[in-house]
Amino acid sequence: MKKITIIGSGFAGLTAVKTLRKQDKQCEITLISPKAELVYMPSLIWVPSGAASKKDIVVPLENFFKRMNVHHVPSEVTGLENDGRTVITPIGLFENDALIIASGGRFIKKLPGIEHAITPCEGLSAAEAIRDRIKSMDGGDIAIGFSGNPKEPSAMRGGPMFEFLFGLDTQLRSEGRRDKFNLTFFTPAEKPGARLGKKAVKGLLGEMKKRGIAMHLGNKMKKFEADKVITEGGEFDADLILFMPGMTGNTWFDNTDLARSEGGMLKANQFCEVEGADKIFVAGDSGSYPGPDWMPKQAHMADLQAEAAAKNLLDGLDGKPASHTFKIELMCIVDSNNKGIFVSRTMKGGLMLPSCRLMHWAKQIFGWWYLRGYR
Full domain range(s) for residue 210:
109-246
Do 158 and 257 touch, CB atoms closer than 8 A? no
Predicted confidence (pLDDT) per residue in 122-174, tens digit: 999 999 999 999 999 999 999 999 999 989 888 888 889 999 999 999 999 99
Distance of alpha carbon 242 from alpha carbon 257, whole angstroms: 35
Predicted confidence (pLDDT) per residue in 54-78, tens digit: 999 999 999 999 999 999 999 999 9
pLDDT band at 190 (very low <50, low <70, confident <90, very high): confident
CATH at residue 190: 3.50.50.60
SS3 181: strand
Q: How many helices (H) and strands (E) does the chain have?
A: 8, 25
The answer to whether position 352 is within a domain reads no
If one counts the domains in the chain, the total is 2
pLDDT band at 40 (very low <50, low <70, confident <90, very high): very high
Q: Which residues does 188 contact at the CB level (< 8 Å), separation at least 6?
A: 147, 148, 218, 219, 220, 221, 231
Predicted confidence (pLDDT) per residue in 69-117, tens digit: 999 999 999 999 999 999 999 999 999 999 999 999 999 999 999 999 9
Do 51 and 36 touch, CB atoms closer than 8 A? no
329-345 mean pLDDT? 94
Residue 52, CA distances (Å) to 56, 71, 126, 173 in order? 6, 30, 14, 18
Same domain for 164 and 235, yes or no, is yes
Distance of alpha carbon 270 from alpha carbon 305, whole angstroms: 9
The answer to whether position 25 is within a domain reads yes
Residue 168, CA distances (Å) to 131, 200, 271, 338 in order? 10, 20, 40, 11
The answer to whether position 298 is within a domain reads yes
Predicted confidence (pLDDT) per residue in 354-375, tens digit: 999 999 999 999 999 999 999 9
SS3 of 143-163: EEEECCECCECCCCCCHHHHH
The answer to whether position 262 is within a domain reads yes
Percent of the chain with pLDDT over 90: 90
Among 317, 336, 365, which residue terminates a domain?
A: 317
Same domain for 204 and 293, yes or no, is no
How high is the pLDDT of residue 349?
87
Same domain for 69 and 163, yes or no, is no
Phi, psi of 98 (to 5 degrees): -160, 150
How high is the pLDDT of residue 81?
97
